[in-house]
Structure 1
Amino acid sequence: METYSLLRQFADSWALLALTLIFLGVIVWAFRPGSRPIHDDAADVPFRNNDERPAPRREARAPHNVKGNGDV
């Protein structure tokens, strides 16, 4: 049997089964009972350390070496 045919047959049977089981396992693991606090904590990461004042807003300016930006 040719290498390509052997790998194709493996991919069509056992590899497909293995990847399907891995996918279902990840879905079950993500939605398992008791994982809500972990997901809520991960969702709040961008909002942590928000006690301080936000960083000052930067003005968007074109570089000085670009012609036609209105600077003389």
Structure 2
Amino acid sequence: MMPFDHETVVGFAKSFGLFYLIILSSICLAWTYWPSNKKGFDEAAQMPVSEGEDRPWR
């Protein structure tokens, strides 16, 4: 049985955190570059300039 001490927990947390961030980054990149999401990103990019309002908020 593996000892349950501080060093073991820290090592597990570092390893799990590394794999978690790699998987999360891969999912974010795949979602960003998925071809069917292009239209939504293009609309969001044009939203600030397409509203036509060129005046202060108040």
TM-score by length of 2: 0.69
Amino acid across the alignment from 1:36? K
1:14 aligned counterpart, secondary structure: helix
Name the counterpart of 2:32.
30
Name the counterpart of 2:10.
8
Deviation at 1:15, TM superposition (A): 1.9
Q: Give the number of the structure whose alpha-carbon radius of gyration is greater.
A: 1
For 1:39, which of 38, 41, 46 is the aligned residue? 41
Structure 1: tracts of 5 or more residues without a match: 57-72
Q: What is the number of residues matched between the two proteins?
A: 53
Distance 2:19 2:51 in 1: 45
Structure 2: tracts of 5 or more residues without a match: none
Moved over 4 A (4+): none
TM-score by length of 1: 0.58
Q: Percent identity?
A: 25
